A and B are shown apart, each in its own frame.
Chain A
Amino acid sequence: MRVTRRFWLTITAIGSLVVGGGLLDAPLLVVGAVGLAGWLLAMQFAFVRGVSRLEDELTVSQSLDRSRIRTDAETKYTLEASVAAAGDHLPLSVEARIPLAARMEAGTSPDINLDASMQSSSVTLPLTWETVGNYTVPGATVTVSDGTGLFTQSFTTAPGPELAVESPSVGPIHVGQSGKQLLRGVGEHDARGRTGGLSAEEIRKYVPGDALKYVDWKATARLDETHVRNYEAESNRSVVLVLDHRQTLRDGTPGETKLDHLKAVAAAFQQRAETIRDPLGYLTIDDAGVTESRIPVARTEAYRSCRHRINDLDTETETSATATTKAAHTGRMTGTVNPTADTQSPMETTLLAYRDAAGSKRHLPNQPLYNGLQAAPHEIRSANLLVICTDDSNPSELRNAVGLARRNATEVVVFMAPSVAFDTDLLTDLDTAYERYRTFDQFRRELNEVDSVTAYEVGSPDQISAILSGSPANTDRREYA
């Protein structure tokens, strides 16, 4: 309980009366002081009682109109307070504390004042979230004062809603094959995998054609009729995302680059894996090699780490400690680890000759994606599903990388951003663009024909439609029209 200036004024008056009564030998002043002190005590008791009751009768709720949002998008925040009291109550104010990452419009404030006779009130304001992360709106502060202005008391309510702020979206994304949109959601998969199991789903009557091994003999004996037990597969598939963020992924208009589209696809896989608790790992590669990697695990921090990595991913060349360390251990960066013949010491020459003779890992020049997969054997070997997000700027490298991935992982899915769909002068020559797209699609089909490999194209639906409108069929149609 906090006391106000008016309280201290009253105390001073009481003290003055007591002292004055003592000094002047005037008992009447002391009687007055005692009366005032008794009044003050009674008012305090009434306040304590009022606050205790109010705490039970007061309901403060904070809400946001959504639980996930992109940065710089707007949410509606609502603060509501109501008092379930039959009559008047102590006047109070409710003040919410908005997280620092949120920006409010100037002139608005998230607070409510409830006078003694007001039963409820609410305020709604738009909030813009500027920083990626998970936020919880802290509990609101309720300040109660008594009608005479002698006492105040503040207490905090329970924390408000949680909000996940994600990096900006690139809008609608085309994920499909040969210009046709993929019908199944990105990240969804059939229930199959190395570590999968079976759980009983239901018992039903036997029908001709059912395998004998599925007959449930106990149920058959109990029900006096042949019954079989149906099983459903349980999926527990390790997913590893391979995210290419080299310079070529920068193509496209700002905010809608190849990388932005691929990040959205990767984010969908991350969300899907987190929802169904699939172990998730990732590998990020730029022009210098592997920038970061995580082996797949089904832990909350692993999903969070992956989400942050996807959000933070940029086409700038990174020189992280991980990359340097890994490079040193694996020797994938030919320039730094394989010294030229001029600078090689005799011992290096001898050892490198042994390494080459023994057929150790092959590192190809100017193929960071392939070399990156080579450098992270633990990550790709522990993957049931390897998702490669890249572009078609170096088909031979991608072919090699997919081959390597296929040899190590159970299933490989490749999401390719066709370079032609991210050319800013695409619409100037649609025929050429269509020819380039056909070349891309042939390459995609080639990858798709590899066993356990599925290849998709990723791009802007408008751009893909624009390219397909340059196809001969459409051209003929246009000419006839």
Chain B
Amino acid sequence: MSVALKTARSRRSLPTVLGLLGIVVATGGLVWGGPVWLGFVGVVLGGLYLSSTPVLAVVLGQIALVTVDTPSLLPLVLVEGGLFLALLSVTIETPDRRVAGSLVALVVPLLGSLAWLSLWRWDLAPLSVGATVVIGIAIVGYLFHRYLLIELDIVTEDAASDRDFL
């Protein structure tokens, strides 16, 4: 009984440790590349992460990164990598952690790299790049939604007859 409890506790603490490590790394990157007061931002990021809002922590970290004028590559990698670890730690909490973790580890860097290339190599407008990627992801998300409804026999493949579930 006690062994099982210990296992469960350690399993729960692993994502937290990973996520906090990510926040620390991101904070280090911010402080390294920018003013010292960004260290306080790190405290806020940690608080947001521990209050189960890692998404807000990522958003705030990204905004904090913008305040740093022309960050060098290493601090940039540290901040992005740290925030990525925070997101990944959330994924590990899900039951299907291997699949979810692999997907996040694959999709997030892939899309991030694509955005990076579009913005800096191909000089596309940030708004159009962001809008295109978000719309594309929304379409794929909707297809997942439809697939699940069909899989559960809630709707048929004939979309016209299932307007209520669209």
Contacts and interface: CB of A to CB of B under 8 A. Distances in A.
B1 interface: no
Interface in B57-87: 58-59, 61-63, 65-66, 80, 83-84, 87
Contact of A30 (B84, B129, B152): B129
B99 A49 contact: yes
Interface stretch (B37-45, B136-144, B156-164): B136-144
B144 A148 contact: no
B119 A31 contact: yes
A20 to B, nearest CB: 8
A29 B134 CA distance: 13
A10 B144 contact: no
Interface size class of chain A, counting residues whose CB lies under 8 Å from the partner chain: 35 or more
Interface stretch (A11-19, A105-113, A302-310): A11-19
Contacts of A21: 126-127, 130
Interface string B85-110: 00100110111100110011011101
A1 B154 CA distance: 10
B133 A37 contact: yes
A252 interface: no
B125 A38 contact: no
Contacts of B55: 6, 9-10, 13, 36
B62 A32 contact: yes
B14 to A, nearest CB: 14
Contact of A42 (B59, B104, B152): B104
B148 interface: yes
B151 A18 contact: no
Given A16-B59, A17-B62, A147 B94 contact: yes
Interface size class of chain B, counting residues whose CB lies under 8 Å from the partner chain: 35 or more
Contacts of B3: none
B115 interface: yes
Nearest to A23: B127
A22 B108 contact: no
A348 interface: no
Interface of B: 8, 55-56, 58-59, 61-63, 65-66, 80, 83-84, 87, 90-91, 93-96, 99-100, 103-104, 106-108, 110-112, 114-116, 119-120, 125-127, 129-131, 133-134, 137, 140-141, 144-145, 147-149, 151-154
Interface of A: 1, 6, 9-10, 13-46, 48-53, 55, 87-91, 116-117, 146-148, 153, 155
25 contacts: A13-B56, A17-B62, A18-B131, A22-B125, A22-B127, A27-B119, A30-B115, A32-B83, A34-B112, A36-B55, A36-B58, A38-B111, A39-B87, A42-B100, A42-B106, A46-B96, A46-B99, A48-B147, A48-B148, A49-B96, A51-B148, A52-B151, A52-B152, A116-B95, A155-B152
